[in-house]
Structures are given as C-alpha cells and as structure tokens.
Amino acid sequence: MNIYVTRHGETEWNTYWKLQGRSNTVLNEKGRGQACLTHNGFVEAGISFDRIYSSPLKRAVETAVLMTGKSESEIIKDDRLIEFCFGKAEGKTPDERNEDPELKDFHLFFDEPEKYVALEGAESFESVLKRTAAFWEDEIKPLEKTGIQNILVVTHGGTMQSLLLHIDGRSLKDYWKTKMANCTINKIVLENRCFRLEYTGKVFYSEDKSKKSADGFFSNH
C-alpha cells in the first residue's frame, strides 16, 4: 500500500513567513496552482487515490480537493494531521517574534528543537509526535489488507516532519533536516505491517507555472 504525504499549497502568510499554526488561512493563487499542477502530475503518473485524509484546516482541505479532483465531502478530516498550535507566537513574522521578550527562545523550535519548551497554550513536540504516531499505527496500518492501494495525506510543514520522523527514525535534533516546500510529495510504502520511506521531496510544479496552472484549472474544472 502506498501513502503519499504532502504539505498544503502556499498561502499569503507563507509569503511573509508568518507562523500559521491553527489559524484557518486559505490558499493564495500560487498555492492553488501548485496543488493543480500536483494533480496533473498524479494523473500523468497514473496515480489515483482510494482514500484521502486531510488536516481539518481550510488550506489543507482545499489542497486535497485540488490535488485529487474530489469533492470536500470525500475528504476524511483528521485532527491528528492539524498543525502545531504556537500560542502567542502564532501569526507573527520572524522579526516580530524576535522583538517580543516573551518569545526570545522561540527560535529553538527551528534551531534546536530538542531544547524547545512550548509556551503556555502552545503544543509541544511530544504532543505532536504522539498524535501522528497514532495516525500511522491506529488509522493507516489496519488498512493494509483492505485492498486499498493509494492514500493521500495532506497536512502542514511541522506536522509532516513528525509523520516522517515516525517512519525514518530520525532524532528530534534532526527534526528539520529536510526542508519541505509547499505541495512537496513524500511516498511511504506499507508492506507486511512495516512502513518504509520510498522517496521524499518531490514536486510536480515549477515556480513560473503555478499561477498559470491555477487559472487553467478553474476554467476547465
């Protein structure tokens, strides 16, 4: 069984490097184009999906719809795929975080995740790792013998790294070792109850084609 794990398309907040977290932002035009080109890539590769999971946040659900051509009602929204909650840091740019004394140590989230301590109201790495492990073990693994061949999972930058950590066994120190662009595809194979990472970091778009693709997709679908 093949599981394709991806990050949502670009949003306006992405362009300003704002922490989105649980904020319910939507895709911008470029992000819709990225998702549409990824849809075309899947079609050209002969890949269709028997089951589609998404974070419940709008930017992820819209990406799932555009990547698959399915209706929103066919998407399974799973809270275990939602992004980190960043508490007071949410919605702030790097400069704004650096200027806030209460967020002086937030840089550890990216720079030294093993030393990061979540602020009040924010979610810890431990919490995210626990819920994403449960998604793999309790939700996906039991599907192996059901005849399902391809699954799409649409999530967020931070949560996607947690999903991959469960597969490749990296340490928390190496949490961010691989940078993931919007709509990056990572393929995981489940065979005999064992997960393995087949490839990571694939994209089906180029930056100059994303906007054009969005216009074309909406005129034809």
For residue range 63-115, what is the model confidence (pLDDT) as tens digits?
A: 999 999 999 999 999 999 999 999 999 999 999 999 999 999 999 999 999 99
The reply to whether the predicted model has a pTM over 0.85 is yes
Tell me: the pLDDT tens digits for 161-186?
A: 999 999 999 999 999 999 899 999 99
With a CB cutoff of 8 Å and minimum separation 6, the contacts of 139 are 53, 78, 80
Q: Which fold has domain 2-85+125-220?
A: Rossmann fold (3.40.50)
pLDDT at 189 over 90: yes
Helix or strand holding residue 40 (H, E): helix 29-44
Tell me: the pLDDT tens digits for 117-150?
A: 999 999 999 999 999 999 999 999 999 999 999 9
Domain boundaries, the chain: 2-85+125-220
What gap in Å lies between CA 153 and CA 185, rounded to an integer? 10
pLDDT at 221 over 60: no
Q: What count of residues does the chain have?
A: 221
Average pLDDT over residues 45-63: 98
C-alpha distance from residue 170 to each of 108, 111, 161, 173 (Å) = 18, 16, 10, 8
Residue with tokens 């190496």: 174
pLDDT at 210 over 80: no
pLDDT at 215 over 80: no
Strands laid side by side in the 51-54 sheet: 76-77, 51-54, 150-155, 2-7, 185-191, 194-202
Say what the pLDDT of residue 218 is.
29
pLDDT at 160 over 90: yes
Conformational region of residue 121, where left means phi above 0, alpha means psi within -120 to 50, and beta covers everything else: left
- Percent of the chain scored above 90 by pLDDT? 91
